[in-house]
Amino acid sequence: MRAMSEENVELIHQGHDSFNRRDFGAFLALHDPAVEFVPYEVSVQGGDPYRGHDGVRSWWKESLEVLPDLHVEPYEVRDVGDRVFASGRLRGRGAASGAPFERALWQVFECRDGKIVWWQAFENKAEALRRRRAIGVVSGLSAGDPHHQRRQRQPYGKGTVFLAARALRGTRFAWKAGIERERPLRAASS
């Protein structure tokens, strides 16, 4: 069982690495043909998940059209039972405007037979805990985790997907407009 857990953690590391290298073939090969996933921008808008390899292709193309230098900086990838939890940061610049983009990364993955079969990105650790599919997955992570505390203190960057999605709700990629704006969006008071 432990070997499988380590393999799943390595699978997620390979996914982040192949994304950062823009090696789509390697990235796609890590996903099951029937994969289902909900990226952050879809999650905050309540959109439908992407499905299958065609969904992976669409998400890859749509994401990199908007943020061609999008880069994943994983802080932690951890096996938590039958799933894998990843946290880190995403950074990039809008393709048209050059507006900087930065936000926390919170992901939960399910792997089977050496492939990613499901994943979802969340706004924060608390949101991951609220989601039915992730219940219990990240509960073993301590709020005293130094990465967690550091991320909680950092404000979202200008033009983030989070702010744009909240401001522009609508289609799956309404957030593109927020990233591509010349003026950064302002956070609403919570």
**Domains present along the chain, CATH in parentheses:** 2-179 (3.10.450.50)
Cross-sheet strand order for the sheet of 100-112: 50-51, 31-38, 115-122, 100-112, 83-93, 71-80
| Better pLDDT: 27 or 152 | 27
The answer to whether 16 and 74 have CB atoms below 8 angstroms apart is yes
C-beta separation of 46 from 165 below 8 A: no
Instruction: Extract the tokens encoding 75.
Output: 């802080």
Q: How many residues does the chain have?
A: 190
pLDDT higher than 60, residue 120: yes
- Higher-pLDDT residue of 107 and 1 is 107
pTM of the model: 0.71
Give the tens place of pLDDT for each residue, 148-176. 333 332 333 333 333 333 333 333 444 44
Q: Is the dihedral of CA 17, 175, 138, 111 positive or negative?
A: negative
pLDDT at 93: 96
Nearest to 63 by CA among 75, 53, 51, 71: 71
User: DSSP assignment, residue 133?
Assistant: G
Asked if residues 115 and 31 have their Cβ atoms less than 8 Å apart, the reply is yes
Greatest mean pLDDT among 61-65, 83-87, 133-137, 155-159: 61-65
